[in-house]
Amino acid sequence: MCGICCSVSFSVEHWRKDLKEDLLYNLKRRGPESSKQLLKCYMNYQCVFSGHVLHLRGVLTAQPMEDERGNVFLWNGEVFSGIKVEEIENDTLSSCKSESDIMSLFSEVQGPWSFIYYQASSHSLWFGRDFFGCHSLLWHFNNLDKSFCLSSVGPQTYGVANQWQEVPASGIFRIDLQSAAMAKHVRLQLYPWECISRENATEECSTSLTHVSADLPTFVSVVANEAKLHLGTPISPLNMTLPQAPLATHCSHISSIPFSRETLQVCLTDGHMREVVEKFIDVLSVAVKRRVLCLQRDENLVPNGVLKTGDRKANVAVLFSGGIDSMVIATLADRHIPLGEPVDLLNVAFMTKEKTVPSSRNKRPSKQKNHEMPSEEFSVGTAARGADSPDEKYSVPDRVTGKAGLKELQAVNPSRMWNFVEINVSLEELQQLRRTQISHLVQPLDTVLDDSIGCAVWFASRGTGWLVTQDEVKSYQSSAKVVLTGIGADEQLAGYSRHRVHFRTHGPGGLNKEITMELGRISSRNLGRDDRVIGDHGKEARFPFLNENVVSFLNSLPIWEKANLTLPRGIGEKLILRLAAVELGLTASALLPKWAMQFGSRIAKMENSNEKASDKCGWQVLRMCVIQGFYQREKSVFSTDFESG
């Protein structure tokens, strides 16, 4: 994983050799092990390339990479399949003689990526993100000097006239820098992903161009590439087959018994369903394997996988709530991570004004009387007086289910060292670090939901917390550079409550359309934000449920084999994943209903509980009002009284 950036200027008076300090700082946090800059100057344009590397596999290679022809390559990605790892290096791109060669190369890569490639012979700048947009890439166009910048992450602060936006995961873009410099106009040629539904190909491609063009300044235009080339779509189209009979009849053999783990076991007595579930486990297991083995292992590991005497450090962590997604990911990771290597289970909880006491694993905790909110800082000695001390302050739903999930994992493999990391966040710490470190990572997203999830993921992936055992309580800092997350499961398997609403209103056909829409917007709704947030700790987020083969397999199944929303909550949504959990030996977690992270961790209760998820953040509204005020004041719109204030 890397922080990559390219700043392009067409105005000689605005040329500069370095990036702005705050932008450089944020890039270095993503890639702390190697930093390098490269300057390219021509008669009418200048490019500053900046690369910052997090070393995860192979030999550490500094970026940007430049070959003897003057081509420059910046790569932030992982090749898990499709081509040999070394083939994505600069030499291979340099050997691409035509646009179609570049399209063929990136069509074959399987894994998350974003890249920037300068082709010297044609003065072309190529850039883009993978099909799902797993890795962040932002762009910023400056209308004043007609410059622009591409970067994995934005600066600490920016105003109305200096907005950054996500590069749409619509395909690969190319800019002719010579032509742009002469015309004072940036023309983005789009090489889109091949349209999945052939019958609506023209409409899809037109919609893609319209979406990309939105909110761009007037000196920037987006057009289809002149050669009419496209990238090969890496996934199969969604199976839109509708059931011939009502969905309730597909599970009629289990509808007469009480819903429990045995309910799922009865469902697995159907030979076809068991075969489907076993295939799903196989393809997901391979996806997890590639994501936990493609990294540098601890040097203390000996060939038989047992650590020598000394501290055992985890290389892989899981964002862990104890819910069905993280439980299955952790169980499959256990299959492939060397036995002597611990696995960090990162469990985040936010202290609330209301003390909660969980009544059961499957029910929401009941609210108790308000109590004075204690400080997040407590001594090891104080906590050690009772292992329940942290629980009293942070007994949120995800902490309760997380501890229950830990016991299940210990039963599945008691030989594994499972590090359950209790990450406790006070209101004071949240407010301070949100302001100084997190808010700019969430942007350009700006809703209450984005802020809540962004903050929860940032604190969880930081991995700073406590290990609480029967013997002791000690502070802990996760050393894992790879963080596995369950993103993609809810989107594909009807895990959200809105899916039930859609199903009740529009039936299975409407649910299929909703799932198609979910995958189509996941790059802008989730992945860019989470990549920036996790990457800020010098760690890489990896998403097994968004492996191309996993998505293609799930897309091949009819909707009723993935989810049956005629069944109750905790059974019907993500049905195939629950059946897989039973097959893997999991117990109570197979029946846990969906808890959104902002509610399970209780961050949604930290401040203004009356806010809606879609509302603009309070801090963002205030900040934008201040920026807008100064911006307008400079244009002499506001009164003298306002200016003096």
Helices (H) and strands (E) in the chain, counts: 22, 22
Distance of alpha carbon 442 from its chain centroid, rounded? 11
State the DSSP string of 210-231: HHHHTT--TTEEEEE-TT---B
Phi, psi of 47 (to 5 degrees): -125, 130
CB contact at 8 A, 427 and 351: yes
Who contacts 611 (Cβ-Cβ below 8 Å, separation ≥6)? Answer: 448, 618
**CA dist., res. 587 & res. 34, Å (int):** 44
Tokens of 624: 């934008």
* Count of positions (residues) in the chain: 645
Residue 486 has φ and ψ, to the nearest 5°, of -95, 15
Quote the CA–CA distance of 398 and 321 in Å, as a whole number: 5
Cα–Cα distance for residue pair 252/564, rounded to 1 Å = 12
The answer to whether 357 and 368 have CB atoms below 8 angstroms apart is yes
Contacts of 530 (CB under 8 A, 6+ apart): 453, 454, 457, 485, 487, 541
* Contact (Cβ atoms closer than 8 angstroms) between residue 393 and residue 353: no
d(C-alpha 64, C-alpha 116), whole Å: 9
Give the CA dihedral 398, 404, 406, 410, nearest 10 degrees.
Answer: -170
**Strand partners for 542:** 484
629 phi and psi angles, rounded to 5 deg? -60, -45
Locate 346 and state its tokens: 């990162």
The residue from 2, 134, 149, 455 that is catalytic is 2
- Residue 41 falls in the annotated catalytic set: no
Q: What SS3 state is found at 87?
A: helix
Mapped onto helix, strand or coil, the DSSP state of residue 471 is coil
State the CB neighbour count (10 A cutoff) for residue 636: 9
Angstrom CA distances, 110 to 39, 169, 247, 287, 338, stand at: 31, 15, 35, 11, 24
φ and ψ of 398, to 5 deg: -70, -25
Neighbours of 380 (CB within 10 A): 11
* Cα–Cα nearest to 399, from 159, 639, 197, 595: 595
Q: How many other CB atoms sit within 10 Å of the CB of residue 78?
A: 25
Residue keyed to tokens 């009293």: 392
> How far is it, in rounded angstroms, from Cα 339 to Cα 417?
8
Task: Tell me if 138 sits within 8 A of 148, measured CB to CB.
Answer: no
Tell me the catalytic residues. Answer: 2
